[in-house]
Every structure is written in C-alpha cells, then in structure tokens.
C-alpha cells in the first residue's frame, strides 16, 4: 500500500509539474461558505449544506486518488451548538445520513475513517453511525479520513492536559519526560502526521479553533470559493500553492 501511495504522489507531482515532496501528506480543510452559497443563489440555507456534502464526497475521493495519506475536515464545531435548534437538528441528521450512505464507499476505496471530537451531546443516531463506520473501516489500509465533528481545539488540548496530569499523579508518567511527542500522543490525532496544508474556503482569514496544536507548521491556503463549489481543480490550485510555499516547484 505504501508503494501505491508513492505511485499516486508521483503521478500527481508530474501532472501538476511540481516536486513529489510538494504533494502534501496531510490536508486539513475548514469547509466554510455553505449558507452564503445558498443565499447568493436564492436557495434555502439547508440546500447549501446538502451541496456541501456532495463537495465533500468529491474531495475525499479525489484525495484518495492522488495520494493524500491523511485528510481531515471540520464539519461541526463545539461552538456550532449555539446555532438555532432546527438548524442543528438538520445538520445532525445530515451527518447520520452521510455516514450511512458513504460507509460502503469507504470500504470499497479502503478508506480508514476516524472521528475527532467529543461524543457528548451528539444524537444517538449519529453515534451509532460513527461507531459502525469506525468499526467497519478500522483495518482499511488506504487514505485516513478524519471527521472533526463536535470538535474544538482548545477542548482537545485541555483534555490532553488532564490526561497527562492524571498519568503524572498516578506515577505512570514523569513530569520531566513530557515533550511535544508525548503531548501529541494525548491528542485526538495521535499517530497521524500533522497537517502540511490547511485550506479554508469562502475567504475567511480565521482558523476557528481547528487543530491549533497540529497546524503549527502548516501552509495556509485561503480561497474565496464557497465550499459547495470547491472541486478537484480548486484542490490542485491549493496543492500547487503549497508546493511553491515549500519551494519545491520544478524550475
């Protein structure tokens, strides 16, 4: 499978005319602009989210095809619970339906699915689909797909600190042994590469409490394109920009 990834990365680099090291291993995406997309087209806001789901399917499939080893997308933050109850209920139902529908495709494409975030407050319908999707894809050896659902980076960091403190208190961990590696092992993303490239759609210049520890070395790509319109061509532009930022472009 490692050979397969490298072959895909090589083909992608040749197609985009960049060095192979210019193809990121881990792409993280803040999927923004669904409601604005719908409003500008005179459609109900929920239609923007529905179209956004379609864009997500396009992008995860494309990332798998071009040799991206890790993809993490931000679908629902802890702060999003403050939205109107009917909107939250719709989004939760959309997540449950999405997972149920996509699961068979994850299996076919050998995608390993992981959930990043808190389970508390999530409806039972979502928890059931999350658990089953994680279970059924756990041994897959293709791209790793992380869904940041009910996620907040500050909460993640605080939870890590508490776990480390408990281990120190019990004697399982020495304070002087704590370093960045050990701290990272207590985050949701333990075992994953940190993101090389962070993409935010809709032109907003904010990280919105997303992977604050993990994106310390990431290249940022902000596009005015709303998430429902984000496609393979837009992702290629982001990768090419990442390559230029890393000074890996072909001369």
The answer to whether 67 and 25 are in contact (CB under 8 A) is no
Structure-block tokens of residue 98: 């999405």
CA distance 75 to 150: 8
Catalytic annotation, pick one of 80, 194, 209, 229: 80
**Is 209 considered catalytic here?**
no
User: 76-79: long-range contacts at Cβ-Cβ below 8 A with a sequence spacing of 24 or more?
Assistant: 76/117, 76/148, 76/149, 76/150, 76/151, 77/148, 77/150, 77/151, 77/152, 77/208, 77/209, 77/210, 78/117, 78/118, 78/150, 78/151, 78/152, 78/155, 78/209, 79/152, 79/209
Residues 6+ apart with CB under 8 A from 114: 134, 144, 145, 146, 147
Q: Are strands 219-222 and 70-77 parallel, antiparallel or unpaired?
A: unpaired
Query: What is the Cα–Cα distance from 234 to 116, expressed in whole angstroms?
Result: 25
What is the spatial distance between Cα 238 and Cα 227, in angstroms, rounded to a whole number? Answer: 14
Active site residue 32: yes
Say if CB 127 and CB 96 are below 8 A apart. no
Which is catalytic among the residues 32, 140, 144, 150?
Answer: 32
Cα(153)–Cα(160) distance, rounded to whole angstroms?
11
> Known catalytic residues?
32, 80
């Amino acid at each position: 499978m490692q050979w397969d990834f490298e072959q895909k990365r090589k083909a992608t680099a040749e197609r985009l005319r960049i060095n192979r090291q210019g193809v990121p291993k881990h792409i993280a995406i803040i999927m923004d602009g669904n409601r604005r997309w719908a409003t500008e087209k005179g459609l109900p806001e929920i239609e923007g989210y529905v179209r956004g789901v379609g864009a997500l399917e396009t992008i995860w499939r494309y990332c798998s095809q071009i040799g991206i080893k890790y993809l993490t997308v931000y679908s629902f933050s802890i702060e999003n619970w403050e939205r109107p109850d009917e909107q939250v209920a719709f989004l939760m139902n959309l997540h449950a339906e999405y997972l149920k529908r996509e699961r068979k495709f994850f299996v076919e494409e050998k995608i390993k699915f992981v959930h990043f975030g808190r389970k508390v407050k999530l409806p039972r319908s979502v928890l059931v689909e999350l658990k089953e999707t994680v279970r059924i894809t756990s041994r897959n050896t293709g791209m790793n797909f992380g869904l940041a659902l009910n996620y907040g980076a500050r909460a993640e960091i605080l939870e890590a600190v508490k776990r480390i403190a408990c281990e120190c208190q019990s004697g399982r961990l020495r304070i002087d042994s704590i370093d960045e590696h050990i701290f990272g092992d207590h985050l949701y993303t333990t075992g994953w590469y940190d993101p090389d490239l962070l993409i935010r759609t809709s032109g907003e210049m904010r990280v919105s409490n997303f992977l604050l520890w993990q994106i310390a070395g990431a290249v940022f790509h902000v596009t005015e394109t709303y998430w429902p319109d984000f496609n393979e061509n837009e992702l290629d532009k982001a990768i090419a920009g990442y390559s230029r930022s890393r000074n890996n472009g072909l001369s």
